[in-house]
Amino acid sequence: AFDVSKLLAKTGLTTFDPGFNSTAACASAITYIDGDAGILRYRGIPIEQLAERSSFLEVSYLLIYGELPTQAQLDTFTSNISRHTLLHEDLKNFFDGFPRDAHPMPVLSSAVSALSTFYQDSLDPFDDDAVELSTVRLMAKVFTIAAYAYKKSVGQPFLYPDNSLGLVENFLRLTFGFPAEPYEIDPVMAKAVDTLLILHADHEQNCSTSTVRLVGSSQANLFASISAGVNALFGPLHGGANQAVLEMLSRIKDVEDGNVDAFVDRVKNKEQGAKLMGFGHRVYKNYDPRAKIVKQNADEVLKALGVSDPLLDIAMKLEEKALADEYFIERKLYPNVDFYTGVIYRAMGFPTRMFTVLFALGRLPGWIAHWREMISDPQTKIGRPRQLYTGPTERNYVDMSDR
Ligand code: ACO
């Protein structure tokens, strides 16, 4: 209801770009995406190769430091992280302050934010040693925090980390294990989680990463910036989509008698804003390369875990139906990474509300890499967009008695 070009001329501005469709806010050497060709590369290496041959910690090193590590570098990185998995006992008390049914995402962001109070040596963003230590602390402790957020939500006791285990194995034990009982790690599950973490590890200037950079551009420390990123990821149009997908599939199965056609029609008619969650992407206008890998994994992992899930059949039917439909073809809407992840997490026993937390664990090294790149880039300035003002022109204050 306002004329953009007039407002632009009036303010002397040249661009109006809500949602930043065509505005680059930074230069970055971390991740390359070609949305039309369906290409994703971390530091130049195709996601398909990394998913098949690498490990989450190796990918984290690659994203954060720019190169694949030598064995010695990877060993040092891994052992530094294992040494920091414990949470301060006082931080553990934090969890008792939340209601039992709290969503684990705000619990995670609050606890990450609280790390700044426990590690006040982290406050100077230009102290390289402190940044290094904060990096390692985050890579270790966020996994423990995530597991405790889960334990809290199911009313089970916390376990101490076992640092003889790998990061993912430790996380699975902290999540599903019990203090006095041995926990047997299922290698299929550990490998599947590791692969999903790799697929989520970075995605250039998505909403949460841009948030991390924007908050960090004020020279806020790593913990504060990443806590903001966790909050940005919480929304259903971003990381919260994996939870929303599973809720959608469950509703189709339980409430709508598995009627995929009727659901797709409702989406096409935009009934009450209905969307096919897990479909569409700002950048990918071709199949999301991560979704391809997740789809293959979903089938394999479910078979290996001996789980058969009618929700996977519904997801496949939905995809088939949508990909053949003019509405989705015209708009270039394809499954994104989140369309099939929920089915895998569910088969592993994670409750729906933990799905976005798992996404956050994967995205962690990407956020750290971007914050570090931003803080060491001499071109970085405080992020401060402009606006087109559409409110009233100058008017006088009116006394209460005259209103
Ligand atoms: N289902 C139905 N229609 C859709 C969908 C969808 N999932 N996504 C986009 N559209 C339609 C829009 O209604 C719009 O139609 P119109 O031209 O008739 O108005 C058109 O496609 C373009 O969509 P926009 O919303 O303008 O696309 P944008 O780039 O702003 O949004 C987004 C991208 C947020 C991902 C969107 O596709 C969406 O909401 N998807 C569902 C949520 C989701 O899966 N999010 C996860 C994204 S990936 C990630 O964060 C890991």
**Cα 381 to middle of ligand 1, angstroms:** 31
**Per-residue confidence (pLDDT) for residue 166, from 0 to 100:** 95
Q: How far is the CA of 167 from the CAs of 78, 105, 117, 181, in angstroms?
A: 8, 20, 24, 20
Pocket of ligand 1 (CB under 6 A): 19, 237-239, 241, 267, 275-282, 331, 333, 336-338
84 is catalytic: no
d(CA 248, CA 238): 15
Residues of the chain with pLDDT under 50: none
**Per-residue confidence (pLDDT) for residue 11, from 0 to 100:** 82
Could you tell which of 275, 284, 328, 338 is best to mutate to test the pocket of ligand 1, judged by most ligand atoms within 8 Å of the CB? 275
Other CB atoms within a 10 A radius of the CB of residue 111 amount to 26
Other CB atoms within a 10 A radius of the CB of residue 160 amount to 11
| 355-380 residues labelled b (16+ CB within 10 A) or e (exposed) | bbbbbbbbbbbbbbbbbbbbbeeeeb
DSSP-derived 3-state class of residue 213: helix
Q: How far is the CA of 343 from the CAs of 143, 168, 235, 311, in angstroms?
A: 21, 19, 19, 7
Other CB atoms within a 10 A radius of the CB of residue 265 amount to 15
Question: Which of 203, 281, 288, 370 is an active site residue?
Answer: 281
Closest-CA residue, ligand 1 atom 21, reads 331
**Is this structure's pTM higher than 0.90?**
yes
d(CA 287, CA 97): 43
Q: Which amino acid is at 163?
A: N
**Per-residue confidence (pLDDT) for residue 10, from 0 to 100:** 85
**Cα 284 to middle of ligand 1, angstroms:** 11
Tell me the two tokens of residue 89: 């006992």
Contact 337, 200 (CB under 8 A): yes
**Per-residue confidence (pLDDT) for residue 371, from 0 to 100:** 98
Could you tell which of 279, 287, 330, 332 is best to mutate to test the pocket of ligand 1, judged by most ligand atoms within 8 Å of the CB? 279
Contact 56, 194 (CB under 8 A): yes
**Per-residue confidence (pLDDT) for residue 299, from 0 to 100:** 84
